[in-house]
Amino acid sequence: MSGILFCRTANLEAVSRFYTERIGMEVWLRQPDVVILKHGNFLLGLHQKGEPDTGGLITFFYPTHSEVDAVHRDLHELATTRPEHNGAYHIYHFFARDPEGRALEFQSFESPVPPHMGGEELIRSRRSVRRFEPRPVDGPMLERVLAACVCAPSARNSQAWHYVIVRDRQKLETLARMRGDSSAPIAAAPMAVAICADPQGTSRAAEDGCIAAYHFLLVAWLHGLGTCWIGGMDCEDVKDILGIPREHYVATITPLGFPAERPEMRPRRPIRVSSAA
């Protein structure tokens, strides 16, 4: 279920430009005398109708302090406070006003929050993470991630994948040395997860394992956790270390933890489309 917060405005076009050009919102829908804007999965409707309503508080939140600081630099002339930590709510935030006087807040949470991203934002924002905070991923959060992964498709609905949780520091260090720099991120995280598939349960072990692994990467990001696909780990040494049967397929072993970085997206090639005659 979704919702829209509507506000009356006396100058629809000017206020819409403010939110799109200065805040970075997108136009989600246009209707007569109405513009509905989108920021992540937050929908803000502006309705050209008499005097603007300026009560309440519109809050935008971001993943990191640095992004809040960047917004403050862009809106410095409209800001009413400077960015600061708020210990009562465990947030980092500042306040500003839009051109019609509405109160705005820009913040980042300083503790984990429940999943909130929409599908498009999840896919566009996911990054490979190679630096992690030292704090552990607790059992309940890991269980929530794994519970969502049961929705991964598989050949003939075989569901022949399984997950191996690795927290032992010596094993993490050993796995991190298996492929040099490529596998090094495993040692930087508090834990790792091997995503595997049993060929006795499916005729498409490699495909099923990789689909399950990518589901895991997306669900982990949805919960605020970083991962990094480490390929080339389907080998006997790895399976012996983790007690995985040698006939099983290891799609990847990904580090898992709270990101200490949020890498920028690298340049993307244009989509190449062809038609079959």
- Same domain for 230 and 125: yes
How high is the mean pLDDT of the chain?
95
pLDDT 10s digits, 82-137 = 999 999 999 999 999 999 999 999 999 998 888 988 888 899 999 999 999 999 99
Eight-class DSSP state of 118: -
**Domain end (from 109, 128, 151):** 109
pTM of the model: 0.85
In contact, 104 and 98? CB cutoff 8 Å:
yes
- Same domain for 210 and 102: no
User: Looking up tokens 């947030």, which residue turns up?
Assistant: 91
Task: For residues 11 and 103, give the distance between their C-alpha atoms in angstroms, rounded to a whole number.
Answer: 17
* pLDDT > 70? residue 1: no
In contact, 96 and 79? CB cutoff 8 Å:
yes
In single-letter form, the type of residue at position 54 comes to T
**Domain end (from 56, 85, 109):** 109
Q: Which domain holds residue 177?
A: 119-256
**From the DSSP assignment, how many helices (H) and strands (E) are in the chain?**
8, 11
Residue 270 lies in a domain: no
Give, in order, the Cα–Cα distances in Å from 207 to each of 17, 148, 183, 194, 269: 46, 19, 22, 15, 25
Task: For residues 181 and 49, give the distance between their C-alpha atoms in angstroms, rounded to a whole number.
Answer: 59
- Same domain for 164 and 103: no
pLDDT 10s digits, 44-88 = 999 999 899 999 999 999 988 999 999 999 999 999 999 999 999
Total number of domains in the chain? 2
- Same domain for 156 and 244: yes
Eight-class DSSP state of 270: P
Listed as own residue / partner, the contacts of 145-152 with beta carbons closer than 8 Å and 24 or more positions apart are: 145/216, 145/219, 145/220, 145/223, 145/225, 146/216, 148/215, 148/219, 148/222, 149/212, 149/215, 149/216, 149/219, 151/215, 152/211, 152/212, 152/215
Residue 275 lies in a domain: no
User: Looking up tokens 């190449």, which residue turns up?
Assistant: 272
